[in-house]
Amino acid sequence: MNEETKEAAPIEGEETGRDRGKPDRLAAGEKGFAVGLLVWGLIAFALSMELWGRMKEPKAASAAAVPVFVSALWSFLALLTVIENGKRSTPLSSVKSGVEKGKEALSYLFPKPVRVMIGFMVVYCVMLLMGVSFYLATILFLYGSMCCLTGREYGKNMGWSLLVMGFIILVFRMLFRVVFP
């Protein structure tokens, strides 16, 4: 304990002072996320500018003013994040080959559970396109994905799948009168 400031001494490995919250090395995927955020912000800005162009006078008080302001701010802050992140290293910084960087980046973007879920979604869509009943396809999708992601609790997974399907039917079919495929 420091007698002058009455503060505890920093724990070994703890960030202190001006470096707090700014590690030297970014987490895997952090640069890519910032770039994706910037791209989506620019798309939102372009769409809001299109909306702005359709508005009649006074444009500053129109319904497009808030989307333009928010998406411009979003894009600006995302650009600052991309610039700041460009100065830092990532787990891929040490990889020299472009092919190896691509493979590593894909493994960060799509870890095994994500690839499994994408596969299940593709199979689910194909089953619906082939004319399999919505109810059967949904229960199989839920059950299969739960079994792959949670392990071997087959009975529990079937119970949860049936409970979720019952909730879907109760809320959407009976309450909101949604027609299922």
Is residue 175 over pLDDT 60?
A: yes
The DSSP code for 90 is -
Is residue 16 over pLDDT 50?
A: no
Q: Kindly report the CA angle at 73 between 79 and 65, in degrees rounded to 5?
A: 145
- The CA distance from 97 to 89, in Å, is 16
pLDDT given for residue 133 in this prediction: 95
Q: What is the pLDDT of residues 121-143, one digit of tens each?
A: 999 999 999 999 999 999 999 99
- Taking residue 157's Cβ as centre, other Cβ atoms within 10 Å add up to 20
Q: How much is the mean pLDDT over the chain?
A: 84
Q: What is the pLDDT of residues 67-105, one digit of tens each?
A: 999 999 999 999 999 999 988 888 777 777 878 877 887
Q: How much is the pTM?
A: 0.56
Is residue 12 over pLDDT 70?
A: no
The more confidently predicted of residues 30 and 37 is 37
- The CA distance from 169 to 136, in Å, is 13
- The CA distance from 122 to 127, in Å, is 9
- The CA distance from 133 to 140, in Å, is 11
Among left, alpha and beta (phi > 0; psi -120 to 50; other), residue 25 is beta
Integer angstrom CA distances of residue 123 from 44, 93, 111, 137, 140: 31, 36, 19, 9, 10
pLDDT given for residue 18 in this prediction: 44
- Taking residue 144's Cβ as centre, other Cβ atoms within 10 Å add up to 17
Q: What is the pLDDT of residues 149-170, one digit of tens each?
A: 888 889 999 999 999 999 999 9
Closest CA to 64 of 73, 75, 54, 77: 54
